[in-house]
Amino acid sequence: MEEFSDVRFEQRAVIAFLTAEKVPPIEIHRRMKAIYGDQYVDVSTVRRWVRRFKDGELGQADLSDKTRSGRPMTASDQLHQDRVEELICGNRRIKQKRNCHCIRNF
């Protein structure tokens, strides 16, 4: 099964291609919904990407996400992994909300 980001990248390529062919956004959305099933993007997303591709040079579409400001939403270092494991092993009925609170105060 393809990863979520791979599917999104593929869908952007489809949107770029159909935009170059001058297919309207609503038609692009209809086609993608038929092909991708549950993993299709919303029509507003299609319109946003169509605008982005039309603003760029034809054939020079940038399919990647724009960089975002702020701290990345990851905390996968060994120290945090050990702390989570310790909390879960100490109380197997611990709620996710309580787990987050304990880790923040760590």
Q: Is residue 16 part of a domain?
A: yes
3 state DSSP class of 23: coil
- Are 16 and 44 within one domain? yes
Look at residue 62 and tell me if it is in a domain.
no
SS3 category, 79: helix
Task: Indicate yes or no: pTM above 0.75.
Answer: no
Structure tokens at 86: 């310790």
CA dist., res. 63 & res. 49, Å (int): 9
Amino acid at 6: D
* Residues 67-79: tens digit of each pLDDT: 666 666 665 677 7
Q: What is the pLDDT of residues 10-28, one digit of tens each?
A: 898 899 999 989 999 999 9
Structural domains in the chain (count): 2
Asked if 51 and 79 sit in the same domain, the reply is no
CA-closest candidate to residue 11, choices 40, 47, 38: 40
Do 80 and 103 contact (CB within 8 A), yes or no?
yes
